[in-house]
Amino acid sequence: MTVYVPGPLRSYTKERASVEAAGATLEEVLADLDRRYPGIRFRMIDEQGRIREHIKLFVELEQVKDLSFRVRGANEIHIICALSGGADATPAAPAASKKPKDEENQRNAD
């Protein structure tokens, strides 16, 4: 089946956006993916065997949270990475205008 790989994980797949993997369950597909592309599974699955918080896995169009999910008959798995961090979306307050004292004094004199 075809596994669609997000940009942040493509360094494992030699920059390929889609790769092939096999298995009867999602766990088996991810294990096969890791055999073909060592290290990729750890980026998706934590040490306790759970899908990492920033990763979403879809079999066909259904989000799957259980690695024992049977994928037989499925054609596609999509791996989605949530992005985090970056700049605050709140605009910064405008900086106070600092006019030269001579300009301010000239205005007050008028």
Reported as a single tens digit per residue, the pLDDT across 2-23 is 999 999 999 999 999 999 999 9
CA of residue 70 relative to chain centroid, distance: 24
pLDDT computed for residue 40 by the predictor = 97
**What number is the average pLDDT over the span 28-56?**
96
| Tokens at 48, concatenated | 């306790």
Residue 59 to residue 7: CA distance in whole angstroms: 19
Q: Which CATH superfamily is domain 2-81 in?
A: Beta-grasp domain (3.10.20.30)
Q: Where do the H-state alpha helices sit in 1-110?
A: 26-36, 40-44, 101-109
pTM above 0.85, yes or no: no
